[in-house]
Structure 1
Amino acid sequence: MSKTIVLLGTFDTKGREFAYIKEIIEKRGHQTILIDAGIMGSPLIQPDISRKEVAFKGGSTIEELVSKKDRGFAIDIMSKGASAIVQELYKEGKLDGIISLGGSGGTALATAAMRTLPVGIPKVMVSTMASGDTKPYVGVKDISMMYSVVDISGINRLSASILTNAAGAICGMVEVELPKKSKASGEKPLIGATMFGVTTPCVERVRSILEENGCEVLVFHATGTGGMAMESLIESGFINAVADITTTEWCDELVGGVLSAGPTRLDAAGKAGIPQVVSVGALDMVNFGPMDTVPEKFRSRKLYKHNPTVTLMRTTVEENRKLGEIIAEKLNKAKGPVVLFIPLKGVSAIDREGMPFYDPEADAALFESIKEHLKPHVEIREMNCHINDPEFAEAMAKTLLQLIKK
């Protein structure tokens, strides 16, 4: 069945390359829509949607962008315009997949538009930037980044191979059929859960119980992007309830670690009013890279080499007091049912008696701060066990099932 694939990019500098992949896509029997987001030179391939239309949708004109001679401003305008057009095409059923080619500017522009599309819509970005830090481009969406190896400048034996593979990739993505869900599976509550290696036993037990009771569980690794991805899916209406066991990303946001999910972490479920059970998983640790990357000001702190690329730093009494206040304030705003679970014997695998981060005083500061700032309408359950003890996980899972049924 023929599908429609959008080709978005700067046709003044990458027109020949876009023409090359357009031909491959159309030979596979698919339709293309070409969106030109170039600014300076003349397009080297005829677009279906012109740069004038893109600039207009972005709130400006091509003439203004040319006269300003401000590349950053121009990319911002064309990104906004391209994003608006891509959204319109998707809503009109005229976009089954999207592909782009570019350097740093083209990649920033095209992926901004790609990020406005739902998860599941095929997105391929061939980029000179794909072998470095792709987080600014990918965000929390399923964008497939392909490294161009050489600059995207002409068709040669190497670039032809890369571009052919890219065209084949987007064609394969739009052609493949997703498994059909039965009516029963489509009615399953979709649950978001957060996990770290140090909270895995708890989360795995919670997941198992929820699945045994007819739920489908998405487990997010609490590495910053994981928390952001869950928050994004909640905002999009995909997730029906949350087992937010591992709220550790707030440690990195507060103290300055490398795995922050930003200041809106813990907001989405409350705003959506969906049922949530929340705990304090891994609030004993801040994350850094290898030991030699830990900032000098933290070198005298309690550090733990988790593996060669991850160093953990124990949170202090003062930091835990602040974390407790933040967690409480977030949950106080929840519009739906929420129960907070506190494991009195430790919040991670390395925060139990005899382990490196065992610190009853720091944990007590966290728990007391939460209780001090939590409003009466938010239920709190303290359990005299460790977060990874089976009874703790079972209590969280059963409580969430009860909230969902209500």
Structure 2
Amino acid sequence: MGKVYIVGTCDTKFAELDYARSAARQAGAEAILVDVGTQNAHPGADVAADEVAARHPSGAAAVLGQTDRGTAISAMAEALTVFLRECGDVGAVLGLGGTGNTALVTQAMRGLPIGLPKLMVSTVASGNVAPYVGPNDIAMMYSVVDIAGLNAISRKVIGNAAHAVAGMALHPPVPSADDRPGVGITMFGVTTACVTQLRDMLGETHELFVFHATGVGGRSMEKLADSGLLQAVIDVTTTEVPDLLVGGVFPATEDRFGAIIRTKMPYVGSVGAVDMVNFGAKESVPAEFRDRRLHVHNPQVTLMRTTPEENRQIGAFIVEKLNRMDGAVRFLLPLQGVSAIDAPGQPFHDPAADEALFSTIRDGWQAAPNRQLIEVDAHINSREFAAALAANFRDITP
């Protein structure tokens, strides 16, 4: 059983943090109070702020020597991320605070594996929490009253939070004997037929986790890979890359494919739905794109066909990442179309744009014993292509 790490700024909120520590201990957990204050040290913490700050890559002075509060908070967040990763005995993390401490603690929480309990009691937890949570399993609890002194309300909220993390640390879920090897698969509406066939082909032997490629979907899949909760990835749909490069609403980050590079896990990939950039309702399409080839997918989603030049950029981004993968890699190109609407008679059928993509990946490919580039003369949603994905997956996985 791991310890409960309670994190906050003891120079301003020691009474509340100490109350949470006591409540967690009364619930039976071993609780550690970590001070991340950047102004004045407090003697009541179990881990002093300077000990955390020392984990910053540039040393404690990069954190505690700052006169600008925002700079100090950002630096302490970086230091806390390293600190928590290095502890080795973290069973759960509880944060308490306002906007500054919420940003600080949740940044460090995002660096922890999926499945490790993380709870943030925050004054901003009733609003848009996406920037704090991202693709992670961080639970946000609204503090109701400000975390500015103990009272009848704050004691109930903080006590509940402390008991919650204590329970999670003391009673981790037991793995099921029925668990099968987990495989992440990326899908979009226009690649659903391919993924549905893959599920039929592999579902009896593997547990398949399908991620909607809406930006956060790809990040969630890679977070699970980094957390050791996937054994392999079948990355059918890399549409988040064009949104990143061209400016759509479902973008990847620059770290797309990074988890595969870091973990070296078996990877089968393709170029599903890179024929499009995603926007909202048609009237929301930026003015510079309104003369482009657009397709209204539904009232809330408008698709824009990627050009040959954009496809060269997309291909260059993808192949550069593939060349850095040291695990077993099979990357498949569907030569007859990359989405349901990229086929003869469909609105995004554009052989020249597709060929710009394929040729860029071919030309940039660096041959290696672990990596194979495979061209399939079929459409991405055909049974032939799905079968090729499944066969290559079986070739590189136990």
Q: 1:125 to 1:364 in 2, by over 3 A?
A: same
Q: 1:204 to 1:167 in 2, by over 3 A?
A: farther
Q: 2:271 aligns with which of 280, 297, 312?
A: 280
Q: 1:165 to 1:298 in 2, by over 3 A?
A: farther
> Partners in 2 of 1:236 and 1:203 — Cα distance?
24
1:199 counterpart = 2:199? no
Unaligned runs of 5+ in 1: none
Q: Would the aligned equivalents of 2:29 and 2:170 in 1 still touch at CA under 8 Å? A: no
> Partners in 2 of 1:286 and 1:308 — Cα distance?
16
Q: Deviations over 1:196-250 (max 9, x none)?
A: 23212212321332232x2333333322233233334445555433211111111
Q: 1:347 to 1:36 in 2, by over 3 A?
A: same
Q: 1:125 to 1:387 in 2, by over 3 A?
A: same
Residue range with higher mean Cα deviation, 97-106 or 266-275: 266-275
Q: Deviations over 1:331-366 (max 9, x none)?
A: 344334433322233322333344443333322332
Aligned to 1:402: 395
Q: 1:72 aligns with which of 70, 73, 79?
A: 70
Residue 392 of structure 1 aligns with an amino acid whose one-letter code is F
> Partners in 1 of 2:290 and 2:144 — Cα distance?
39
> Partners in 2 of 1:32 and 1:271 — Cα distance?
32
Unaligned runs of 5+ in 2: none
Aligned to 1:54: 52
What displacement does 1:396 show? 0.8
- The SS at the match of 1:145 is strand
> Partners in 2 of 1:142 and 1:50 — Cα distance?
27
Identity of aligned residues (%): 46
Aligned to 1:18: 17
Q: Deviations over 1:360-388 (max 9, x none)?
A: 33223323433343345554444343322
> Partners in 2 of 1:175 and 1:10 — Cα distance?
25
- The SS at the match of 1:361 is helix
Q: 1:300 to 1:162 in 2, by over 3 A?
A: farther
Aligned to 1:329: 320
State how 1:224-303 maps to structure 2 within 5 Å: 224-235=215-226, 237-270=228-261, 272-303=263-294
- The SS at the match of 1:96 is strand
What displacement does 1:9 show? 0.2
Q: Deviations over 1:110-153 (max 9, x none)?
A: 12332332221100012233344434433443211223344322
What displacement does 1:8 show? 0.4
What displacement does 1:401 show? 0.3
Aligned pair count reads: 394
Provide TM-score, normalisation by structure 2.
0.86
- The SS at the match of 1:280 is strand
Q: Would the aligned equivalents of 1:301 and 1:313 in 2 still touch at CA under 8 Å? A: yes
What displacement does 1:106 show? 0.5
Q: Would the aligned equivalents of 2:318 and 2:361 in 1 still touch at CA under 8 Å? A: yes
Q: 2:83 aligns with which of 74, 85, 101?
A: 85
Q: Would the aligned equivalents of 2:308 and 2:356 in 1 still touch at CA under 8 Å? A: yes
> Partners in 2 of 1:262 and 1:100 — Cα distance?
26
Q: Give the CA RMSD over aligned residues.
A: 3.0
Residue range with higher mean Cα deviation, 4-13 or 332-341: 332-341
Q: Would the aligned equivalents of 1:111 and 1:137 in 2 still touch at CA under 8 Å? A: yes
What displacement does 1:282 show? 0.7
Provide TM-score, normalisation by structure 1.
0.84
